[in-house]
Structure 1
Amino acid sequence: MGTLLAVVGTAGAFVVDPAESVPEPVAYEDTTELGLSSETDEMMGGNATVPRAQVFYSQLQYVVGYNGVGSFVTSLSDGRTEQQFGYPLVAYVETFDHRDPGTTDNGLLSASGAGGWTPAEDAQYVVDSSVRTPAGEAVVPFSSREAAVSFATDHDGTVVGWESVRDRSFDTDSAATVRSLAPNRWEAADDRIAEAERAADRPVSVVVGEDATTIGAAVEAAPPNTTVVVPEGVYHETVTVNESVSIVGDGARISGDGNGSVVTVRAADVAIRGLRIDGAGNQTRDPEAARADRDEETEAWDANIQNGYGHGDAGLRAIDAPGLVVENVAVETNASGLLLREGSHAVVRNLRVDGSETWQNGFMGIAGMESRVAVTDSRFEGGRDGIYLHRADGSVIRNSTFTDNRYGIHLMYTGDALVADNTARNELFAGITVMTRPAGNAIVGNDVRNSGAGIQSSGTQTYIGYNTLVGNELGFSTSARGSLYEHNVVVDNELGARATTVVPSSRVVANDFVGNDDHAAAGAGALRVWADGDRGNYWEGANLGPRPSGERAYRPTSPVDAALHREAAAVAVRESPAAVLLDRLRGTVPGARTGSIIDPAPVSTPFHPDRIDAVTDSDVGQRGPIHADWRSVLGSPTAVREAPDGNTTTQSTTGQIGTRNVGNDR
């Protein structure tokens, strides 16, 4: 591995001599994965696969696994991996010599059996072939040149060595890519909403009370692509919609009998507008559906959630009903407000759901199972989760308000989503939570206060920026891998941020930490470096003392540094010879680098003093949430961009940006 080590260089004063002990490869499931999201089953299907690498780093006690050779090569020159992990002692790549490599029907790499592990510098690589992987360009390693040449001949590729692969650049998605796409997702949602509303504007065919005695009878009588008008009044019935019609109310309420769902849609391109709905049953799950799933012995947890959560009662339920439009609708329920399943992709505007006072007795404002949604200008109060989405890639949730839920927004197995400019208050566990390793989500411009946590997001390649997190038990956690946390204002929380991943692979930069009991904490893992080149974060108290700004790193996990914004006397302790010596040890001895955070370049003034002033001014704060004008910033030619070396250029985004004070009346 001499070549590899020479290419990468060394880091820090503590170096292990690889000649003394070269570790053997481990089972891939024992690595800590980076690169492509580890949930590749939905992306690949069948027997498609991604070539993998595993790397032992000099300053890291964990073996790092990379899905995609390109993702490992990119990490070698990103300017951050070496800083935090040290240099690679040895890297192994998964080889395909005896695995009958080929392609799936859609051109993805496939293989049978288990691969072997070969040192990266000893392998032969097929590049520029017709084969692809979900990670992008396929770099397929082989232990023998003969096997590599055979595969390259069959798939129009070229055989190269490690040095050639090491010198290549790879077009890999990153959190910066997601950042640049966030304004586009907002605009795409605008288009989806406008198109859906135009399609729902249909000629009137039936008026309830004039042409039919009940809503159900009117729906049955209405020709497809027409409108049923429901005049003012209370209608005690349940309704099933089996045709593509619009149902438009004018001060009308549909009230069920307390059993089952009130309105059920089983057709495409249905619109429900201007109605109030109550009287749904209080069953939140269908035990028979969950039991049937267990009997079939399928993937129990995931399918059980879909069948259990997706089969309860709701004010409005859609089953295999794509193109649904829900607008100006209010639902009172102790179960779900709007339940979507089996591809019931929907546009939702001005929906209000009032759930149970205690979350244990209620369910979801919106529950979406494998159904993409665009939700805007809506309000969810009470119940379990304001919005729960499960395998709903590409969804957009924006400009909506969540109050007194368990979770405000709760995403599972859902990627490529935009969660933006929402307001959450008094959420028991968290305002926004994303679980089960999705990829490509953008969580931007939200205002979360007085909740268990502001934002907790897992997965990969997540962009979390321009959020305002105030008065929570926890501001945000860095649970997502390969992600970017920037321009968040984190004020007056019990804990500002928590580093949770054992292998730090995300950037945390240009955030403002003010007035928190503790600015940050870290769980087990390597040293976290929260900065990007010579630009760090603003930490209240970090620049107190005799040294000029920028000449001393800040460690929010150090007992002394952590007290600087609370105890003026801590400055004297920080400047003592013992503290200076301890700082040096932390930077050179691996055992002293674990479980801690360092910002080597803390800035002296906040990035967003206007937003800080707004949330700490009680008169302003009482008027409504504060949202950053992130769309004009990220959508402008001078927005933050990813530089070739993996660092960011900041341009206009490091200056002031506007804020929007949005009232609570949405």
Structure 2
Amino acid sequence: MALFDPYGDPSRALRIALGALLLVAVVATAGAFAADPESAAPSPVAYDDVVELGLSSETDALMAGSARVPRTQVFYSQLQYVVGYNGVESFAATLGDGRTERQFGYPIAAYVETFDDARPGTTETGLFESTFAGEWTPAAEAVYVVGSDARSPAGETVVPFRTREAAEAFAADHGGRAVDWEAVRSRSYDTDSAATVRSMAPERWDAADERIAAAERRADRPVSVVVGEDAPTVEAAVAAAPANTTVVVPPGTYEETLTVNESVTIAGEGARISGDGEGSVITVRAPDVALTGLSVDGSGGQTRDPEAAREGREDGEVWDTNIQLGYGHGDAGIRAIDAPGLVVDDVTVEANASGLLLREGSHAAIRDLRVDGADEWQDGFMGIAGMQSRVTVTDSRFEGGRDGIYLHRADGSVVRNSTFADNRYGTHLMYTGDALLADNAFRNELFAGITVMTRPSGNAIVGNDVRNSSAGVQASGTRAYIGYNTLVGNELGFSTSSRGSLYERNVAADNELGARATTVVPSSRVVANDFVGNGEHATAGAGALRVWADGDRGNYWEGANVGTHQPGERAYRPTSPVDGALHRHVAAVAVRESPAVALLDRLRGTVPGARSGSIIDPAPATAPYSPDRLDAALDPGAGPVHADWRAELDERSGGGDEDAAMNARDRNATGGGIDPRATRAGPATRPISATRAGQATRPTSATRAGPATRPTSAATEGPGDA
């Protein structure tokens, strides 16, 4: 039976698509002759005008004060934006990867920040620092110190200088040696990467196990006071209990509020503590307090303290501090202030504002917590609000309210095996890095299941199941690992908003849109994902061509392998009107094989006009990577579907030669860190312009005054990647 009828009448949509393709071919052909080459390479621009890749130093708490990451800015032949790399080594890694040139063109000019007159040195913790910003010098003319004791939060950093004398002086004080640009390109570097984050995800899970076990031990204390026998109220019992003992609260309802100032365990046996509708019900102000077996209700409804936020603004505090002052000073069922070591186990909170509010280093281990929030998210607040407080959450449920869990500067947090439903955001991270969000289930989230904003670093989002929500996973930042997630029935499965990151083994099925490339400069890898049954598999905004593959490993796209070609032999373009329709309209194959489309295929990637908003997978897989999980995800009677990702990652880490080769590729995501075991390919096909006056050609869209306006991703509050 034929796959299509070449004499049949294709749908009106396909006729329109063919007409659009013919128009694009004509425009693209004309655009090939539109460039107006100049003899001089472009001059450097203000760094605020570049699109940044590499380390996200500006939001890293370690990079306060005079600490810096040496920067690079690069003009590419077929990209209208100037690309800025935080870390010279980040740019060096792109020159041999084979993908950057295909997406951006070749580098026609590159400048590095040199520090001859900037009093360079290192901080007490070894971070590179300088009193002043550096000056821009052509990369090929600079001298670099490698192997010194200067570091960045991602690892080793290369320090550039204009003169060899300045470089050798720095090396004399801080170790290392002075080398030229070619030597920098040929080196490998001991820096972090998205694949490092992948390898650390099982370790973070194990660390969470240890935290929960330690919390159990802290909570297990001898009984000293029983409410109703030794003291008339819970508040009186807590005041009477010696430190490191347990207050037992028998079944019943206790209408009171209390403050805990000693390291005690409050153990309920079906007890309910009910506040008077004003303020917080339980306030903890001591370390190592444990709350178990309680139900809590009756807090006030104030979601933030406007006076605290106002004071912050008057003091000139930055935006995120205002958020902490506002969000961290509302009412809660349980509020902890400067109370590290908090244990919350088998607790239910009916929340008028926040369920659990943590601030000022109130690191907490939380198990079997249930927070029932407001039916309308505007009427409530967070299930858990963690402000500068690391949380370890397991086996919990958050339903209703604003955000199930909101974390702000809560690095190292773990949220796992928990359920979220009918929130605005399920889990919402701001300025929070090195976290693990794993094996959670999200349902009917108004804005998104998982959202990560304000450019953090090193987060692992693994094994989650998000359905019937506006978006599955939207994560900004750098060096993120987004893998093994199951995203079904959402408006959007996932967006590739994080820079230098790795998106793999995700199942995007039956979404209106499977994935969206949200940033103008791609630097992440999207590989080994399964796209099935989506209205559109993927779309991309303005920017360079996105290559979603890793060598001969692509993604599985339903419909990519239909037609006259052998499976896997023809590249698939989900953003093409024709390719994008293959899984919905079999007749699209007739259009795909037409001469007009063949011409457009040859033009794609050769002129800037044929690149904008495009994704290509040059090696589409012939079968799903996760068939069992895909089948389970599409079963209407199935519950949450989670991959056995810990076992798979452990197996891959210790696998044979094929696994080792795959892992080596995975560790070298463009724009991310560089694995020390990686080897560098030879020089780029075209050398970087050595001087500003050297002969170079650039497209007319590049300007000396700066690049075009930097678009941002509305969903993630800042440019991400891929």
- Pairwise same-fold verdict (TM > 0.5): yes
- Is 1:194 aligned to 2:218, yes or no? no
Structure 1: distance between partners of 2:426 and 2:400? 10
Q: How does 1:469-618 map to 2 (within 5 A)?
A: 469-618=487-636
| Mapped contact 1:79–1:647 kept (Cα < 8 A) | no
CA-CA distance at 1:148 after TM superposition: 1.7
Query: Is 2:102 aligned against 1:87?
Result: no
Equivalent residue letter for 1:570: A
Amino acid at match of 2:138: P
Which string of whole-angstrom CA distances, capped at 9 and with x for unpartnered residues, describes residues 88-124 of structure 1?
1111110111111122222222212231111111111
Matched with 1:657 is: none
Q: Which moved more, 1:477-486 or 1:585-594?
A: 585-594
In the alignment, is the contact (CA less than 8 A) between 1:50 and 1:135 conserved in 2?
no
Q: Distance in 1 between matches of 2:505 and 2:660?
A: 14
Equivalent in the alignment of 2:457:
439
Match of 2:375 in 1: 357
Tell me the equivalent position of 2:640. 625
Note if 1:205 corresponds to 2:220: no
Separation in 2, partners of 1:648, 1:120: 25
Counterpart check, 1:416 vs 2:439: no
The answer to which of 28-37 and 203-212 deviates more is: 28-37
Question: Partners in 1 of 2:388 and 2:147 — Cα distance?
Answer: 35
Report SS of the residue matched to 2:630: helix
User: For residues 41-66 of structure 1, what are the alpha-carbon distances to aligned partners after superposition, in whole Å with 9 as ceiling and x for unaligned?
Assistant: 51222211111111111222211111
Tell me which of 383, 387, 405 is aligned to 1:387.
405
How many angstroms does 1:87 deviate by?
1.9
1:635 partner SS: helix
Give 3-state SS (helix, strand or coil) of 1:627's partner.
Answer: coil
Q: For residues 345 and 282 of structure 1, what CA distance do their matches in structure 2 show?
A: 24
How far 1:610 sits from its partner (Å)?
Answer: 1.1
* Matched ranges for 1:126-141 at <5 A: 126-141=145-160
What code does the residue aligned with 1:545 have? G
**Cα distance in structure 2, aligned partners of 1:525 and 1:586:** 14
Output the TM-score relative to the length of structure 1: 0.93
In structure 1, C-alpha distance between the alignment counterparts of 2:36 and 2:665, rounded to whole Å: 29
Mean alpha-carbon deviation: is it higher for 169-178 or for 429-438?
169-178
2:358 is aligned to 340
Instruction: Report the AA paired with residue 273 of structure 1.
Output: T
Partner residue, 1:313: 331
Q: Distance in 1 between matches of 2:140 and 2:406?
A: 46
CA 1:14–1:78: 2 relative to 1, 3 Å: farther
- Aligned runs of 1:13-412 on 2, under 5 Å? 20-299=39-318, 301-412=319-430
Deviates more, 1:578-587 or 1:524-533: 578-587
Residue in structure 2 matching 1:634, options 623, 632, 649:
649
Contact persistence 1:18–1:89 (CA under 8 A): no
Residues 400 and 423 in structure 2, CA contact (< 8 A), matched pair in contact too: yes
Contact 1:78 1:645 in 2 (8 A): no
CA distance in 2, matches of 1:326, 1:645: 41
Rounded to whole Å, the distance in 2 between the matches of 1:274 and 1:14 is 74
Answer whether contact 1:176 1:641 (CA < 8 A) is retained: no
Q: Offset of 1:77 from its aligned partner?
A: 2.1
Distance (Å, rounded) in 2 between the aligned partners of 1:153 and 1:644? 37
Q: Deviation per CA, 1:325-379: give whole Å up to 9, x if none.
A: 0000000012000000000000000000000000000000000000000000000
Q: Deviation of residue 242 (structure 1)?
A: 0.2
Cα deviation 1:366-403 (Å, max 9, x = unaligned): 00000000000000000000000000000000000000
Instruction: Describe the SS at the equivalent of 1:543.
Output: coil
Letter in 2 for 1:498: R
- Say which SS state the counterpart of residue 618 (structure 1) adopts: coil
Whether the 8 Å contact between 2:57 and 2:63 is mirrored in structure 1 is no
Cα-to-partner distance string for 1:18-69 (whole Å, 9 max, x where unaligned):
9823111111111111111143451222211111111111222211111111
The CA RMSD measured in Å over matched residues stands at 1.8
Looking at structure 2, the residues matched to 354 and 434 of structure 1 have their Cα atoms a distance apart, in angstroms, of 23
Distance in 1 (CA, whole Å) between partners of 2:134 and 2:661 is 35
1:664 aligned residue: none
User: Which ranges of 4 or more aligned residues in structure 1 deviate by more than 6 Å?
Assistant: 13-19
Distance 1:642 1:132 in 2: 28
CA distance in 1, matches of 2:478, 2:411: 14
Question: Which sits farther off after the overlay, 20-29 or 361-370?
Answer: 20-29
Q: What is the letter of the counterpart of residue 196 of structure 1?
A: A
> Which residue of the partner structure matches residue 21 of structure 2?
none
Cα contact 2:494–2:514 (8 A) shared by 1: yes
Query: Which structure 1 segments of 5+ residues have no match?
Result: 1-12, 650-666
Query: Structure 1 residues 548 and 15, CA, compared in 2 at 3 Å: closer, same or farther?
Result: farther
Cα 1:59/1:625, change in 2 over 3 Å = same
> Hey, what's the Cα distance between the residues in 2 that align with 1:648 and 1:368?
31
Quick one: which amino acid aligns to residue 360 of structure 1?
Answer: Q
CA distance in 1, matches of 2:128, 2:593: 57
Per the alignment, in what secondary structure is the counterpart of residue 408 of structure 1?
A: strand
Distance verdict in 2 for CA 1:363–1:420, change over 3 Å = same
* Paired AA for residue 232 in structure 1: P
Give the residue type in structure 2 aligned to 1:254: I
SS at match of 1:33: strand
Structure-1 separation of matches of 2:525 and 2:660? 14
Partners of 1:468 and 1:626 within 8 A in 2? yes
What is the TM-score normalised by the length of structure 2?
0.86
Query: How far apart, CA to CA, are the structure 1 residues paired with 2:117 and 2:134?
Result: 8
CA drift of 1:130 comes to 2.7
Task: State the secondary structure of the residue aligned to 1:347.
Answer: strand
Q: 1:644 to 1:487 in 2, by over 3 A?
A: closer
- Give, in whole Å, the separation in 2 of the partners of 1:579 and 1:107: 55
For the residue of structure 2 that corresponds to 1:100, the secondary structure is coil
Cα separation, partners in 2 of 1:16 and 1:176, compared to 1, 3 Å: farther
Q: Structure 1 residues 643 and 628 mapped into 2: Cα distance closer, same or farther (>3 Å)? A: closer
Aligned position for 2:711: none
2:564 and 2:583 mapped to 1: Cα distance? 15
Deviations 1:490-523 (A, max 9, x none): 1110001000011000111111111111111101
Q: How far apart are the structure 2 equivalents of 1:140 and 1:479?
A: 29
Q: Which amino acid aligns with 1:629?
A: D
- For the 8 Å contact 1:284–1:335, the answer to whether it is kept is yes
CA deviation after TM superposition for structure 1 residue 149, in Å: 2.1
* Of 157-166 and 37-46, the range deviating more from structure 2: 37-46
Please report how far the alpha carbon of residue 550 of structure 1 lies from its aligned counterpart in structure 2 after TM superposition: 1.5
| Residue pair 2:59, 2:431 contacting (<8 A) in 1 also | no
Q: Which residue of 2 aligns with 1:7?
A: none
CA contact (8 A) 2:447 2:470 kept: yes
Letter of the 2:47 partner, please give it.
Y
